[in-house]
Amino acid sequence: MNTKMFVKWLREKLLPGLSEPSVIILDNAPYHSEILNKSPTNSWNVDKIKEWLTNERISIPQHILKSELLRLAKEHAKPKIFVMNQVIESYGHQVLRLPPYHCQFNPIEYIWGTAKQYYDNHIGPNGYTDEAVWETWREALSIATPEVWRNCIYKCEKLIGRLVDSRK
């Protein structure tokens, strides 16, 4: 998966099918987190940092070290704008980004885990042909009924509620 493919899927499959404003949960996968307005990092060379500063209309002293250029860039950095946020918000929906390493707050993780477990338990009896593999995956994914989704969402809401309560 990459950003281009994910945006295509969002625009062609997911977003047109959502009739009312929704909250779309994104984890920190690289293709969910591409930044439109990138700011300089340590990996940028001096010329590229100077170009960024110039484009931002920030004056640059003539003799300056890379570390000072980076400090200057950091002082003038704007809030990150994510590609996915722009796409999703352009359809009237909101984005909720999960904190890193907290997939337990994402209902799809439970759906995916259940589907993989079903697949692992049922693959083989019909052989390992392409057709048998596809059929087993279709069966595995068909268990994600609206009721199963509701249960997974409820589980996530309970976890979040417990976390919020523990911080009071």
pLDDT digits (tens, 9 = 90+) for 22-38: 999 999 999 999 999 99
User: Do the Cβ atoms of 76 and 56 come closer than 8 Å?
Assistant: yes
In this model, does residue 19 exceed pLDDT 90? no
pLDDT given for residue 38 in this prediction:
94
**Residue 23 belongs to what H/E stretch?**
strand 23-26
Residue 10 lies in a domain: no
Average pLDDT over residues 45-58: 96
Q: What is the DSSP string of 8-66?
A: HHIIIIIGGG--S--EEEE---GGG--BSS----TTS-HHHHHHHHHHTT----SS--H
In a domain, 108, yes or no: yes
Tens-place pLDDT, residues 120-133: 999 988 788 999 99
Cβ-contact 102, 160 below 8 angstroms: no
**Structural domains counted in the chain:** 1
- Left (φ > 0), alpha (ψ -120 to 50) or beta: where does 92 sit? left
User: What local confidence, expressed as pLDDT, does residue 125 receive?
Assistant: 82
Residue with tokens 């002293």: 61
Report the pLDDT value the prediction gives residue 31, as an integer from 0 to 100: 94
Question: Which token pair is 118?
Answer: 């079903």
The boundaries of the domain holding residue 109 are: 102-168
Q: What is the mean pLDDT of residues 80-89?
A: 96
Q: Tell me if the pTM is above 0.95.
A: no
Please report whether residue 111 resides in a domain.
Answer: yes
- pLDDT of 13 over the 80 cut: yes
Question: Residue 84 domain-assigned?
Answer: no
Domain membership flag for residue 130: yes
Q: What is the pLDDT of residue 124?
A: 86
In this structure, is residue 66 part of a structural domain? no
Within-domain flag for 112: yes
- Residue 41 included in any domain: no
